[in-house]
Structure 1
Amino acid sequence: MSGESARQPLSYRVPDLGAMELLLAVARLGSLGRAARELGITQPAASSRIRAMERQLGVGLVTRSPSGSRLTDAGALVTDWARRVVEAAEEFDVGAQALRDRRDSRLRIAASMTIAEYLLPGWLIALHGQRPGTAVSLLAGNSAAVVRRLRDAEAELGFVEGVDVPGGLDAVTVAKDRLVVVTAPGHPWSKRRRPVPARELAATPLILREEGSGTRQVLDAALAGHGGLAAPLLELSSTTAVKAAVISGAGPAVLSELAVADELAARRMVEVPVEGVRLTRELRAVWPTGQRPTGPSRDLLSLTRGRPGVAVHDRT
């Protein structure tokens, strides 16, 4: 039998650390009352704890008198043992704090493009105010890439835009988003008096994000019942590239309202109403199943959920 398997659990007679610390204080100060004050407890509570420790061990530890408290011979021996245990516990605590400090000194985030460009900057500024010593690295890509990085342990926290929560991940909704159909001001759709029907939108070649992007996933799902998406007019790997193509007059696109707010306000793009299809989605924070965010990840998640107007739904 190996030494590991032969180990026995600690006896119920082993006192807890708090009781050992009290005994050490009594030995050092020579007074139960002064020991109680140092540890922030009442003298009756300290007396009760010493008596309970004596019952637990089966030996007397402290002799009390009007002039103070004195250790018995057994108490002096137990104090020596307790000192080693408390010192080891303090070393353990210091080591554990060092691990927490190392963990809390960095945060690796993977985020889909829309969230990375339009939401995360504000959240990270707020996080810096809370944790100025935390170094943040951001890996931006489409939602499929975010999922891969979480599964490969390249990031502690991710943000995605897809239709469903990917397998193997837990999630919480941090915001709602609306997709809008946009064109250049001179496009024929910009002058329509009636909304574009869902079937016409599906049948029209659009400027699209690549497969794997959250925007593409939502659009595919929304138009699946209307004949499915036509072959793309252009397929581009970034929202910035899609916007540039739309503004140049290449054709219509479907993009996040967050991403085109400035262009719509400046009239470089026109929003085209549609009917018969719901183009909304949830933006989610995600992490590996069973690994709840801790440290800076937890704080960032709290900031996203605490922003005004953010809708929250916890899946876990």
Structure 2
Amino acid sequence: MALPPRVSDLTSFDLLLSVARLGSIGRAAAAHQMSQPAASARLRQLERQLGARLLERQARGTQLTTVGEVVAGWAQPVVDRAADLEAGIAALRRDRATQLRIAASLTVAEYLLPGWLIALRTADPETVTTLSCGNSAEVAVQVLGGQADIGFVEGPAVPAGVEAREVARDELAVVVAPSHPWARRRRVRPAELAATPLLSREAGSGTREAWERAVRAQVDIELAAPMLEMSSTTAIKAAAIGGIGPAVLSVRAVAAELAAGTLVRLSAPGLDLTRRLRAIWPAGQPVRGAAGDLLAIALRT
């Protein structure tokens, strides 16, 4: 309900309490960082609202009337609770300003976020960051559920219920061990890739969604079931290096292995294996505080 008009102005009651404590309208005005005429005007307005005389002006200062003492006694706990409320809100804002909860897909978490977080730490050393890694579907669930202030996904489509900004581009690579038969010809046809069981991320992974969508855009056959599903990029790389089968992974994830020759990259003519990496947050909610700072860093790097 709305506050009654006679008690809606807590500043005037607080000013009355200061007069009682300091014995002077001038000293009370100074404590409230206002001029004495402004303080006197507020107190006269309070007396008119209450319909009672609250102050007696004397040669050596100002004191409260009997009615003023009663009103001050009623006002004191209300003003104290208002101060408690303000302190609590300030503490809440400080906590939210110094804590940042991030959810990110593996590619972003492993290959992009470290640099962004270093820049954020340099700009704001007081920010405490927590990072939760998962596939793109899991990241969207955390953002929509309020467990993360901002998320980063790598799927080909924007999840429902969020707003998104592209923060980087990525490219997928078909890779095999040097001993794999495909390594000698250095290329694979889309139909052949579709028909071959691969080492794959789990359902809901942005990497898996991106390459499956790219293949389906070129061939009209059902994709083979994965040879092996794993939620770890590192595990998929190890399996591919061991010759278990082909894999499709971010070029960022396999750069070191390609340079060392432990994996071989194949061309896949006709397949568009580029993808967008996006920041996401709940639709209709602006990105503020440390989350906004992180987004700005990601957009400019």
Q: Which runs of 5+ in 1 are unaligned?
A: 1-7, 311-316
Q: Any conservation in 1 of the 2:137–2:204 contact (CA below 8 Å)?
A: yes
Pick from 203, 226, 229 the counterpart of residue 218 of structure 2: 226
Pick from 154, 165, 169 the counterpart of residue 161 of structure 1: 154
Offset, 1:276: 3.5
Aligned ranges for residues 56-205 of structure 1 at < 5 Å? 56-64=49-57, 67-96=60-89, 109-125=102-118, 130=124, 132=126, 134=128, 136=130, 138-149=131-142, 157-167=150-160, 169-173=161-165, 175-184=167-176, 186=178, 198=190, 201-205=193-197
C-alpha distance in 2 between matches for 1:118 and 1:87: 51
Partner of 2:206: 214
Give the fraction of aligned pairs with identical amino acids, expressed as a percent.
Answer: 48
| Secondary structure at 2:67 match in 1 | helix
Pick from 22, 25, 28 the counterpart of residue 21 of structure 2: 28
Q: Which runs of 5+ in 2 are unaligned?
A: none
Give deviations 1:228-286, integer Å, cap 9, x for gaps: 64443543332112222333445543222332233344454444444434333333444
Partner of 2:248: 254
Give deviations 1:28-84, integer Å, cap 9, x for gaps: 222223222222223343333333333333334345567544434433332222212
| Secondary structure at 2:72 match in 1 | helix
C-alpha distance in 2 between matches for 1:287 and 1:308: 15
Q: Any conservation in 2 of the 1:104–1:134 contact (CA below 8 Å)?
A: no
Q: Any conservation in 2 of the 1:183–1:251 contact (CA below 8 Å)?
A: no
Letter in 2 for 1:253: A
C-alpha distance in 2 between matches for 1:274 and 1:149: 35
C-alpha distance in 1 between matches for 2:92 and 2:299: 34
C-alpha distance in 2 between matches for 1:61 and 1:261: 79
Give deviations 1:89-110, integer Å, cap 9, x for gaps: 2233344556567767866544
C-alpha distance in 1 between matches for 2:278 and 2:292: 10
RMSD between superposed Cα atoms in Å: 3.8
Offset, 1:200: 5.4
Please, what TM-score do these two structures have when normalized by structure 2? 0.76
Q: Any conservation in 1 of the 2:97–2:290 contact (CA below 8 Å)?
A: no
Q: Tell whether 2:293 aligns with 1:307.
A: no
C-alpha distance in 1 between matches for 2:259 and 2:140: 33
C-alpha distance in 1 between matches for 2:157 and 2:95: 33
Partner of 2:7: 14
C-alpha distance in 1 between matches for 2:261 and 2:300: 26
| Secondary structure at 1:165 match in 2 | coil
C-alpha distance in 2 between matches for 1:266 and 1:59: 89
Q: Any conservation in 1 of the 2:174–2:268 contact (CA below 8 Å)?
A: no
Q: Any conservation in 1 of the 2:14–2:79 contact (CA below 8 Å)?
A: yes
Q: Tell whether 2:235 aligns with 1:244.
A: no
